[in-house]
Chain A
């Protein structure tokens, strides 16, 4: 007997990515040899893993607990049977297709079908394996392509002119969530194994500030890279290189709110979003160089790891306080805010709207599409950023997760 397993109900290899949220999958018998007369033979689904690989768990419907294996009855007539798969929390992938969903007949050991997949999760950048780190920086370097690549659009989205769209009001966190997702999808178009990882600015991160990763700064604030690091060719605004000078010990940062302090800012979004000042602003200005000014911050790739941590804190706060539903008042700061900061507003630049009160140009076009999920759409609204795991509405799942923020 042979079976076919599809992840995200798609035959497309680019759709074989999981995170902690449940993903629709399906299985069908393609060769019923050996199962004739059984009608709906029992098939056991499980994950094929190795010691350090990602791992997957399963359930048959939209609710209930996940388990390491799942028994299904699959008809011999070739009809599909649905099930749900999710990355096993704590077991993200370390490389592309390092785990597979496999099927066995009944209690037998013979694998009758298998589909490789990746549990693609945003991780603490300080803890990446050398191979993960190298793929991550290579994707960034290629996106930049010595100043000639698509990265220029992302640099142009975050400037002094455009900053009121994204800062100083409730849309700060939703806008940056969309911005990071757009960039992450572009990185994944270069290397699908890559996720956008985060810099824990309240913890020592010695591995990040090394020549093999985001570089080592000298007293002038020039960042140095190893000869094997493609970021040595990083170029923005016509100038090669990165300027960044830490005002703190990168092994032991002080002066920014810790994660615990940030999560304790309050259970209402109105209170929580004051984190825009500290730790967010404080993390930016814990350096000299590009990253410490709003108009130049996006010239430094570290900016995206810093903001990924800001977004992780929001995700964690959302989970702690169940603040995924835009209809719940405490999930957002509703009021008469400037355009781009209200739940119903579309977000620039993905909406393509230019001219006052929006900026004069809208670089980059619509949100990069994903082969895995449809949310938040090509022109997301502020409200589309809240339910990122699809807890309220499965279709709202944005296709990313953090290594320390589970689904349930």
Chain B
């Protein structure tokens, strides 16, 4: 085969067939297009940790604000995929996380959010501190409050509870309220808040749903009482009743539920109603507790 033919054949070769080393060479080559580089990074995550040189080259792309953001995000995704090969990744772990800490103030919001997510899942104390500061003083916020609350929930500390409670009382937006409730879902002291929100017909449905799940989790007996009231209320919304029925059917106190004839009659009635979701859950409920058992 002539050199020309060999080159043509190599060109036709599927990208998946090229070696990880070849893919990595494309990923770090600034002369290649953004799309080619991003694709090459995605192709061979383990090539980013093939050697110290590869790691440093990958981290350099990730750090460099002059690089196209798509390439930086692809480098991050590839490095993060390589972290799953724990034993091979171990020698590079320290450098990787040190680089991520440098990026928590990166001007690109998407990159910043992803980096913060990775560090928050590692329970990184520095990131937790910065996220909490951002919730207390919006001028220091690295991400929107709902995202900060979500990231703090990877390692719930009681010191996040006061700010979460404040947000529940005076939320900057509905998403932040929802995430604050989720963060508080391990906090038994917040049970009265969950109970109030779960019963409040003027509240957003998502808020009521998460409040119901949180109450069910911290005070199951109290939840069961409240769920009963919701089901007996013929003016209650379908989806809230379906949530209550699902909880009772899956996790209810079998003895208490089965001997509650008023509740059984009501669920029987709901099972004959118009709402498909209520009918579905009522049927499952009756299969477990009622005459259909």
Contact = CB atoms under 8 A, between A and B. Distances in A.
Interface in A241-259: 241, 243, 247, 255-258
Contact of A284 (B81, B153, B183, B209): B81
Candidate in A239, A247, A280 with the most chain B CB atoms within 10 angstroms: A239
Candidate in A147, A224, A258, A292 with the most chain B CB atoms within 10 angstroms: A292
Interface of B: prevailing SS: helix
A293 interface: yes
Nearest to B205: A227
A220 B214 CA distance: 20
A394 B245 CA distance: 46
Contact of B80 (A232, A237, A290, A292): A292
B142 to A, nearest CB: 14
B147 interface: yes
A146 interface: yes
Contacts, number: 175
A281 interface: yes
A164 B250 contact: no
B210 A138 contact: no
B88 interface: yes
Interface stretch (A47-55, A177-185, A270-278): A270-278
Contacts of B214: 240
Contacts of B240: 227
Nearest to A296: B121
A280 B133 CA distance: 36
B9 interface: no
Nearest to A239: B153
A96 to B, nearest CB: 14
B36 to A, nearest CB: 14
A233 B213 CA distance: 5
Interface string A66-103: 00000000000000000000000000000000000000
A292 B243 contact: no
A141 interface: yes
Contact of B45 (A220, A278, A293): A278
B271 interface: no
Nearest to A277: B46
8 contacts: A222-B182, A226-B239, A229-B246, A230-B250, A237-B154, A239-B183, A256-B42, A280-B84
Interface of B: 16, 39, 42-46, 77-78, 80-90, 113-114, 117-118, 121-122, 144, 146-147, 150, 153-154, 156, 175, 178-179, 182-183, 185-186, 206, 209-210, 213-214, 216-217, 220, 238-240, 242-243, 246-247, 249-251, 277, 280-281
